[in-house]
Structures are given as C-alpha cells and as structure tokens.
C-alpha cells in the first residue's frame, strides 16, 4: 500500500540567516516498517538536489543537534546553541528569548507547530519556546531578516519555527508500539528531569502521549560569583497527539497542558509563581493533482501569576495576574506551474486577547485598596495573506518573489489604578488612567512585506545567494497600552532585564525594516570535506520602537516607548573541515563560526539594546563506531557598545571550554558533558542586571553566567 512518508526538505544556502533544521513536506512513498520523521540532527544535502526542487529560503545551512548540554536543559532555546547569527538572553531557566542578527523578542516571529504564540505577561516570562520541551521537538529552524513571506509576517528580525514530532504509523495489518524514556541531570543547581513518549498505532490511526518533568535550584556563577538568586524552576508538560492518514492525506490533532508552579527571573523585579497553559492544535496535509494543501487551526489559554520567590528576602508580596486567550488558523497551498516554477498562496488569522490585573495588597497605601487594571480586555488581531513565486530559470539560477499584506487591529478597555482617591501617592496614576480612558484607543495598522531573492551557482564549489526584504512589525499591547506613570508600576512593565520601567505610547507607528544580504558558500565540489560560508547583511529600520528617558527612578529610569530610525549591520561566518575519515580512527572534523553585529539608534546615537558582542566557537568533533565526542571553545568579546538610554551594563570578554561525548548501544544512548570546565567567572552580555541579587544583598551587578556543570543524559528506546 502507499502512505504519506515525510522526508526532510534540504537545507539551502541563502541570504539573511541560518536554517538549523529543514521543514518537512509530504510525498508519496511505499511504507516499509513505519511512517515516521527524521531526528533533529541533519545532513546538508542541498548540493545533491536540483535547485528547482528546493524551497528558496533566507537561510544558510547549519546543523542543530541534541548534545548532553542541551538535553540537560528544559529550555528549548538551548537547541540553537552556537548557531551562526543566533543568540539568546536569559529570562528564566525555561524561557530564554531568541536574538537573530541583533533583533530580539517580538521582532522575531517565534512559532511552535505553526502557531505564533504571544507572551501573556508584561515581563515576557512565558514566550513561545517555553511551551514545548526540547524532547518533543523534531525540527528547529532559525531564519534571519530575509524571510520568505510564506514563513509569516509582523516581524522584522526573522523567524524561529519549531515543529513537534509527527505521528508514526505501522505497516498494513500490523500494530506498532514504540517510544522512549530519557532522564537528565545537571550538577550546577541540582537540575534533573525526565521525559518520554509512548506511541500505539496501526496503518491508519496513531495515538501518542508525551510527558516531561524538570526542576532545578538556583545555579552558581563561575569563579567566586556565588549563588545567582531567582534562577530555580519547576515545570511539567503533557501532550496527547492523535494522527490519521489515508492515501495522500494526513490529519494530526494535539491536546496539551503545561504547568509551571514556579520559575525565577533573576533580571526582573518579579518571579513567576504559577503558569498554566492548555492548548489544542490541529493540522491537515494533503496532496492533490493540482498541488499540496496545508491547513492549521489552534486554540490556547494561558493563566499566569507573578510574585516574589523566597530567595529575594521580601517581607511583603505583590501578586500580579494575567490571562491570555489565543486562537487562529493558517492555510497554505503549493501549486506547481510550468516546469521549474512554483506558486504558493496563503492566508492566516491570529487572535490574542489579554487581561492583566494586580490585586490589592492588604495594609498597603501604595498598592490598594482597589485592583490595578494594567490591560483590561485588550486584544491584538492579525489577518494576513501572501503570494510567493519561485522559478528555476536554469539549473544554476533560481529566483523567489513574494508579497504579503497584514492587517493588525488592536484595542483595549478602560483601566483603573490601585486607588481613585486623589493624593500625592496616587495622583500620577489617577491622572494617567483618566487620560487613557478618555482617549480613542483603537488602532489599525496596514502593512506590506516584500521578499526578493536570487540564487546563482557559477561553479560546482560556489553558490551565491542575495536578496532584499521589506518587513513590518506592529507594536505589542504593552508597547501601546501600558499606561501607568509612577516608578513602581512602570517597573513592572519590563521584558528587557534592564531594571527600568516603561510607559506605553498609543501613537507608536509600525516598524518597517529594509534588509539586504548576500551569502557566499564555498564547498567541496566532490563531497563534504570542507565548507565555508560568509554572510554580510545590513538593515535600516524606519520607526524602530525604542525608548527615551522620562524621569529618574532610583538607580534606573522611567522610560517611554518612542519611534526612532535605526540601523544594524554585521557579518556571520561559519565553516567546517574534515581532518580524517577512515576505519581505524573514524571521522574527525573541526567546526567553527564567528558573528559580529552592530546596531545604532540614528536619533540619539546610542547602541541598540541586546546586541551581542563579537563571538564565536571552535569545536573538534570525533565519531568512531558507536562513540562520538567533542572539545569546544566559546569566545565572547567584551561588550563596550551599549544602550546608554537604558543604562545597559558593560561586560568583560571571556572564553569557555566545554567537553562532551555520547555512546550508543542497541536501544540505549548515554550523553555526558562538562560545561565551563575551568569554572570561568563571566557576565552574560545580554543578561541585564541581577535584580534578585540586588533585592537580597543591596549589591547591583550584571547577571553572572553559570559556572562549571557536569551534565548527563540517558535515553532508552523501545
């Protein structure tokens, strides 16, 4: 019989970013044992595939693989560790936020199973990647600014796309029972966890259960940095996936729930004291005579609470509650036209509703006697449509041209402060609430995106790809509607980790980023002995949403969101060289990458916030029979260019040594690694200020990085 078999779309060199793992597309194939998906580790097979058969995307080939270091972390962002052009900044142990070529957070369209999940928190404690555990991930893709319009809109920095494993099916007349169990341990912070899956299927129906559990205490910084407070966490994930396939049609429905009883946020004034998310996600894939159709629909609910964890040594509490509701759909059709030409059409809608309220604190004159409504019945709805045309003109030249329109509609209801009684303590917030309620708060943004790219292969050992993209992002709900004015309430609006407080601006305009990039890829024409990629890029952003100072607030400032013009530019480089490959010594290779980015606010001359200093890594990898190992050095230059408006900390440079290895026999795989072998003391360049330590000790310091950690992971498959 025939059935849908999923094969990895090849990874391709392109302008603007790096693809860490390819998307998957259905094709017709004869089933043998099971219908399944490939793992996350990938091979670059682009050169073996005709250009007309490949999706022209804004990414360059790179590999993302599960090492013991990433397996010991429940943070899915750890899968992008040491990938060119990609960095992360610490929020919580489960919730690092991605940065692509200097563009962070909301500027990066982060999708899980095709869903653009908005953070339902004024501190972005529950970003999209925190809602899926790494063990459930099948593909993880990072694409920088020149992103095909089919990969989504309402972003300027690029796209992170993480996909869950699809169902497995048995041969005709057979029953498949399969799964795995994984246990992990991390010495620093005493972190440990477990995850696993169980699948029962026949040739038409499949049922899978995934579960994971992870917890850790506060970690210790390198050297004499000591304990870093508010870095503990505890989380549970459950998901049930039902799959059905017949002939050339595949349907998948996933129900899931995540519970996080607590998670510390060292660079915020608050910690997360509870977060529960429930979701339903459906997907259909089908092939027809005219082409392929993909349709998705989803619903998600988030209930979120913030307060202080005990290690801040707070004598009073300040509860803050949010609930978010999200729902939407996406439809994409892929239609072959003439020989070597493909047309893609699509439509999507995303609804995000938010309520954010802070209950009164008993006995507090500042935080009572009423409930503070920060966002009341707010919503952000986005309707988008795109058309994309790819054409292979010759075996050496391929082009892509895409257009996209997004309509973003935002509004929120009337708000109120802790008190309606006019006095010196509440006057600023009462006046601000009255002005906010009297204003017209509805906003509608109409945006247009364009992506144009060309790939040229002049020789067997050289591929050149260049392109231009116009990308637009509308402000989020807090950037427009955070209305409070006192130092205390504004400090609760902060997803940057910089210690400042923020005031929204309803009149913010959407950001419009114009990006140009080119990638030159030199490679071994006769195999995979060597590869070198160099990728410069430049982005000019109109109406970049930045900040300006309103008033001092102790050691920090009250800042207001404002539109400025900005530019960012940089270069990414990566390469690998096979040192040996034979039966006696196995395969040895050296892999390296280097990244440099510089961002500047053209209005005030400050550096853009969250710009990673020059960094890179060099790794010696060895594979021999069932064993593999690595020795890795990570280098980061001192951070001297900072955003003076936000009082961003300067951090010294550092180098970290890491070791790791894996052994596989039969159904069991053992991973082990040592991070920061020399226990180097260092500060995270994008970590902001260690505010939890400051609350407990009165000493303000940049957020320290983790010290030496021994990690181990054991996986059994059945």
In a domain, 15, yes or no: no
Q: How many other CB atoms are found less than 10 A from the CB of residue 421?
A: 12
Looking at the predicted structure, is the pLDDT value of residue 35 above 50? no
pLDDT in tens, 230-261: 999 999 999 999 999 999 999 999 999 999 99
Query: In terms of residue numbers, what domain contains 667?
Result: 51-359+376-408+418-442+450-459+467-717
The whole-number average pLDDT for the span 415-439 is 90
Task: State the pLDDT confidence band at 72, using cuts at 50, 70 and 90.
Answer: low
pLDDT in tens, 191-201: 999 999 999 99
Contact 546, 564 (CB under 8 A): yes
pLDDT in tens, 460-518: 999 999 999 999 999 999 999 999 999 999 999 999 999 999 999 999 999 999 999 99
Looking at the predicted structure, is the pLDDT value of residue 150 above 70? yes
In a domain, 561, yes or no: yes
Please give the pLDDT value at position 70.
53
**φ, ψ for residue 311, nearest 5 deg:** -75, -5
CATH code for the domain in which residue 147 is found = 2.40.170.20
In a domain, 542, yes or no: yes
Lowest mean pLDDT among 29-33, 426-430, 474-478, 581-585: 29-33
Q: How far apart are CA 228 and CA 120, in angstroms?
A: 26
Token readout for 467 is: 């392109």
**φ, ψ for residue 440, nearest 5 deg:** -85, 110
- Report the Cα–Cα distance between both ends of the chain, in Å, rounded: 26
In a domain, 473, yes or no: yes
Task: Give me the number of domains the chain comprises.
Answer: 1
Please give the pLDDT value at position 339.
87
Looking at the predicted structure, is the pLDDT value of residue 331 above 70? yes
Is 342 strand, coil or helix?
strand
The whole-number average pLDDT for the span 321-340 is 95
pLDDT in tens, 613-650: 999 999 999 999 999 999 999 999 999 999 999 999 99
Angle at 683 between CA 682 and CA 689, to 5 degrees: 155
The whole-number average pLDDT for the span 586-604 is 97
Give 42 or 241, the one with higher predicted confidence.
241
Strand blocks (E) in 43-175: 60-61, 86-89, 97-100, 103-104, 108-112, 115-116, 137-144, 158-164, 169-170
In a domain, 32, yes or no: no
For the sheet containing 108-112, what is the strand order? 115-116, 108-112, 158-164, 137-144
The whole-number average pLDDT for the span 149-174 is 92
Please give the pLDDT value at position 2.
26
Dump the DSSP string for 478-534. Answer: HHHH----SHHHHHTS-SSSSS-EEE--TTPPPEEEEEEEEEEEEE-TTSSSEEEEE
Looking at the predicted structure, is the pLDDT value of residue 697 above 60? yes
Q: How far apart are CA 547 and CA 676, in angstroms?
A: 35
In a domain, 343, yes or no: yes
Please give the pLDDT value at position 71.
59
Please give the pLDDT value at position 351.
97
In a domain, 30, yes or no: no
Strand blocks (E) in 337-416: 341-358, 372-394, 397-411
Contact 447, 471 (CB under 8 A): no
Please give the pLDDT value at position 215.
97
Q: Model-level pTM? A: 0.90
For residue 14, the Cα-to-chain-centroid distance in whole angstroms is 20
Please give the pLDDT value at position 34.
32
pLDDT in tens, 270-311: 999 999 999 999 999 999 999 999 999 999 999 999 999 999
In a domain, 57, yes or no: yes
Task: State the pLDDT confidence band at 426, using cuts at 50, 70 and 90.
Answer: confident
Q: How far apart are CA 189 and CA 192, in angstroms?
A: 9
Q: How far apart are CA 215 and CA 133, in angstroms?
A: 13
């Amino acid at each position: 019989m025939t059935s849908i078999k999923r094969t990895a779309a090849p990874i391709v060199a392109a302008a603007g970013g790096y693809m860490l793992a390819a998307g998957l597309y259905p094709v017709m194939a004869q089933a043998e044992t099971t219908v399944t998906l490939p793992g996350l580790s990938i091979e670059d097979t682009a050169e073996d595939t005709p250009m007309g058969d490949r999706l022209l995307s804004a990414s360059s080939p790179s590999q993302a693989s599960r090492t013991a270091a990433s397996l010991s972390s429940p943070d899915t962002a750890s899968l992008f560790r040491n990938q060119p052009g990609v960095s992360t900044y610490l929020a919580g142990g489960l919730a690092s936020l991605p940065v692509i070529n200097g563009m962070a957070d909301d500027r990066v369209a982060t999708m899980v199973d095709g869903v653009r999940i908005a953070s339902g928190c004024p501190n972005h404690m529950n970003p999209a990647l925190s809602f899926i555990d790494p063990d459930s991930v099948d593909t993880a893709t990072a694409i920088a600014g020149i992103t095909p319009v089919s990969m989504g809109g309402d972003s300027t920095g690029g796209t992170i796309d993480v996909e869950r494993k699809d169902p497995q099916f048995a041969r005709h007349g057979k029953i498949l029972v399969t799964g795995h169990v994984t246990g992990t341990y991390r010495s620093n912070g005493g972190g440990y966890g477990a995850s696993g899956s169980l699948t029962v299927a026949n040739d038409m129906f499949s049922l899978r259960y995934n579960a994971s559990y992870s917890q850790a205490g506060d970690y210790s910084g390198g050297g004499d940095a000591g304990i870093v407070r508010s870095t503990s966490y505890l989380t549970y994930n459950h998901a049930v996936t039902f799959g059905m396939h017949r002939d050339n049609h595949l349907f998948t429905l996933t129900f899931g729930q995540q519970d996080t009883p607590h998670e510390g946020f060292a660079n915020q004034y608050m910690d997360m004291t509870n977060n529960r998310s429930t979701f339903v996600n459906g997907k259909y894939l089908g092939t027809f005579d005219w082409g392929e159709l993909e349709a998705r629909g989803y619903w998600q609910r988030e209930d979120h609470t913030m307060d202080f964890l005990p290690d801040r040594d707070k004598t009073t509490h300040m509860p803050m509650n949010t609930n978010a509701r999200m729902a939407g759909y996406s439809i994409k059709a892929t239609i072959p036209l003439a020989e070597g030409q493909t047309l893609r059409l699509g439509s999507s809608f995303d609804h995000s509703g938010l309520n954010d309220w802070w209950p009164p604190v008993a006995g507090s004159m500042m935080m009572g006697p009423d409930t503070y409504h920060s966002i009341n019945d707010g919503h952000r709805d986005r309707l988008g449509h795109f058309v994309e045309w790819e054409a292979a003109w010759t075996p050496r030249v391929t082009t892509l041209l895409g257009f996209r329109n997004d309509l973003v509609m935002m509004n929120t209801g009337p708000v109120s402060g802790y008190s309606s009684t006019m006095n010196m303590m509440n006057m600023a917030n009462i006046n601000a609430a009255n002005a906010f309620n009297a204003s017209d708060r509805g906003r509608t943004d109409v945006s247009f995106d364009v992506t144009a790219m060309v790939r040229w292969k002049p020789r067997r050992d050289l591929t050149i790809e260049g392109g231009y993209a116009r990308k637009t992002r509308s402000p989020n709900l807090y950037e427009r509607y955070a209305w409070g004015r006192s130092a205390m309430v504004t400090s609760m609006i902060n997803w940057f980790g910089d210690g400042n407080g923020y005031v929204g601006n309803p009149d913010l305009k959407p950001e419009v980023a114009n990006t140009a990039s080119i990638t030159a890829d030199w490679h071994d024409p006769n195999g995979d002995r060597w590869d070198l990629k160099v990728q410069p890029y430049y982005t000019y952003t109109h109406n970049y949403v930045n900040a300006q100072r309103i008033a001092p607030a102790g050691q920090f400032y009250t800042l207001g969101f404002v539109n400025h013009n900005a530019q960012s530019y940089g270069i990414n480089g990566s390469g690998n060289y096979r040192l040996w490959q034979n039966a006696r010594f196995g395969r040895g290779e050296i892999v390296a990458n280097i990244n440099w980015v510089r961002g500047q606010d053209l209005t005030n001359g400050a550096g853009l916030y969250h710009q990673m200093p020059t960094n890179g890594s060099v790794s010696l990898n060895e594979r021999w029979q069932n064993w593999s190992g690595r020795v890795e050095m990570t280098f980061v230059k001192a951070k001297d260019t900072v955003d003076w408006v936000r009082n961003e900390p300067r951090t010294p440079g550092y180098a970290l040594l890491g070791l790791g290895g894996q052994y596989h026999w039969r159904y069991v795989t053992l991973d082990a690694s040592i991070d920061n072998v020399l226990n180097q003391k260092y500060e995270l360049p994008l970590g902001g200020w260690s505010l939890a330590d400051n609350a407990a000790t009165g000493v303000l310091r940049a957020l320290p990085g983790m010290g030496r950690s021994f990690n181990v992971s054991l996986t059994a498959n059945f």
